[in-house]
Amino acid sequence: MNDRRIVGRICFLLVLTTPLVAQESNGLAPEVTDLNAADVSYQLEHQLPYLDKPYISDRPEGRNDGIPVGELGADGGNRELVLKFANELAKRSDDPKTGETDSLLISYKGKLIFESYFRRGRINYPHYQMSITKSYTAMALGRAIQLGYLMMDDLDKPVVSFLKELKPSVLVQGADSITLHQTMHMTSGIRLDKEQAELLRRNPERLRGQGQIQAYLENSDPIPPAPREFKYQASDPAITMQVVEAIVPGSAEDFIRDELWGRMGVRGYHWQADLSGLPKSAAGSSFRSRDMLKMGLLVLNEGKWQGEQLVPAEFVQRATSPIRKTYGKTSYGYFWWTEDYEIAGKTYHCKQGRGAGGQFIFMFPELELIAVVTAHNKGMGNMLRTLPQRLIPAFTYD
């Protein structure tokens, strides 16, 4: 799409608020109008102009999208504390690391009770997700288990047993010992130096289909015996996506669209293709903030969506459990993070999807509280530290 068409496409309906005052319930959230599927892309998102004023609603509108709505205060939460935090996020900031929040949504006890959009945030435009794409990839595998294409016991089988197009004779020593369980918490042991990885990228035809995994397992250092060190890298989610592709009928792309997101009524998202031709798994997806909330509700409800078990509860529990200690109080499950926060002398457990730039799904099971954040910060920003400190008191007040 050329620049002139981009400018022509981006027309905006801006029904906005005065700073420090919540939007009246009959207001409309800011949208990109005349939006077509072809207009959704990471590149076009960067062309979105900042909103002149923030949209802050303590009574989100129902949109017939499967998300129940309520009212901040009346349905829970300290209205004053939440609005104060939101308006601080909305203030103009010159700090590229922390001052570029695009949305904040809050769900409490199953109801969306607060919704806000700032800067590039739009209710109907998908926001680039970065590493939360890994978390969605895990749920795609879980959906395959629910439908019987894989069993929970299969998580402990070598990944090479699912990828029939690999050439075992040229794989590095130990490659045949890597299991799905290990890849999904980043302990595959694959180690590829940067120069070798760059050489492989220069020959993309070799990386089509399972050639991508062949390249990883053929050019890695030898795989040591388990237990192995945790290393956050793209190879492990790529293996998981390849297994999804290998075990489901049709393609992984169609399966994810129809059997995961489609079952929750999510359409109009964007998911980039990897060099393999499969959907990217380490990063590359774009979803609306309300779509992210749906994923949070699915996880908090242990795999159920509107009464239907989309992902096995056992899988969701394992995926969002602290399988591997990482940094400080943080642990890693199956492409989902967990962290404990101590506030006012009490510890609160949090399950998280995390993406660089400031994309987060925070889930506090004890409180039945979910917060969704999107941003375009440089790095992770400070939301991992500040949001729990600001929101938990708003939902635990006397």
Burial class (CB in 10 A: 0-12, 13-18, 19+), 396: middle
CA distance 364 to 338: 10
Average pLDDT score over residue span 96-101: 94
Cα 176 → chain centroid: 30
> What pLDDT is stored for residue 251 in this prediction?
98
> What pLDDT is stored for residue 195 in this prediction?
87
> What pLDDT is stored for residue 5 in this prediction?
39
Question: 383-391 vs 79-90: helix axis angle to the nearest 10?
Answer: 150
360 and 370 in contact (C-beta within 8 Å)?
A: no
* Nearest-10 Cα torsion for 327, 328, 333, 339: -140
> What pLDDT is stored for residue 26 in this prediction?
42
CA distance 129 to 289: 10
pLDDT in tens, 359-386: 999 999 999 999 999 999 999 999 999 9
**23-27, 58-62, 172-176, 272-276: segment of lowest average pLDDT:** 23-27
Confidence band (pLDDT; 50, 70, 90) for 34?
low
Confidence band (pLDDT; 50, 70, 90) for 38?
low
> What pLDDT is stored for residue 197 in this prediction?
84
| CA 183 vs CA 32, 226, 279, 309, 311: distances in Å | 38, 12, 17, 25, 19
As a whole-number percent, the residues of the chain with pLDDT over 90 amount to 83
CA distance 224 to 264: 41
Question: Prior bond to 227 cis, omega within 30?
Answer: yes
Confidence band (pLDDT; 50, 70, 90) for 25?
very low
What is the DSSP-derived secondary structure letter of residue 283?
Answer: S
Confidence band (pLDDT; 50, 70, 90) for 41?
confident
Confidence band (pLDDT; 50, 70, 90) for 354?
very high
CA distance 47 to 32: 12
For residue 310, the tally of other CB atoms under 10 A from its CB is 20
CA distance 280 to 136: 11
346-355 vs 270-271, strand pairing mode: unpaired
Query: How is the chain split into domains, by residue range?
Result: 3-132+286-395, 150-247
Pick the CATH number of 3-132+286-395 from 3.30.450, 3.40.710, 3.40.50, 3.30.70: 3.40.710
CA distance 226 to 390: 40
**pLDDT over 50 at 1, yes or no:** no
pLDDT in tens, 112-157: 999 999 999 999 999 999 999 999 999 999 999 999 999 999 999 9
Q: Higher model confidence: residue 14 or residue 378?
A: 378
Shortest CA distance to 26 belongs to which of 50, 52, 51, 58? Answer: 58
Average pLDDT score over residue span 87-104: 95
pTM for this entry: 0.92
> What pLDDT is stored for residue 157 in this prediction?
98
Architecture of domain 150-247: Up-down Bundle (1.20)
> Dihedral of CA 22/65/287/77: which sign?
positive
Q: Region of 304 please: left (phi>0), alpha (psi -120 to 50) or beta.
A: beta
Shortest CA distance to 138 belongs to which of 368, 352, 344? Answer: 352
pLDDT in tens, 240-260: 999 999 999 999 999 999 999
Place of tokens 């774009």: 286
In 2-56, where does DSSP find H-type helix?
A: 3-9, 42-45
**pLDDT over 70 at 13, yes or no:** no
Return the ∠ at Cα 27 (arms to 25 and 29), rounded to 5°: 115
Average pLDDT score over residue span 58-74: 97
**pLDDT, averaged across the chain:** 92
- Listing DSSP states for 216-229 in one string gives HHHHSPPPPPSS--
Confidence band (pLDDT; 50, 70, 90) for 3?
very low
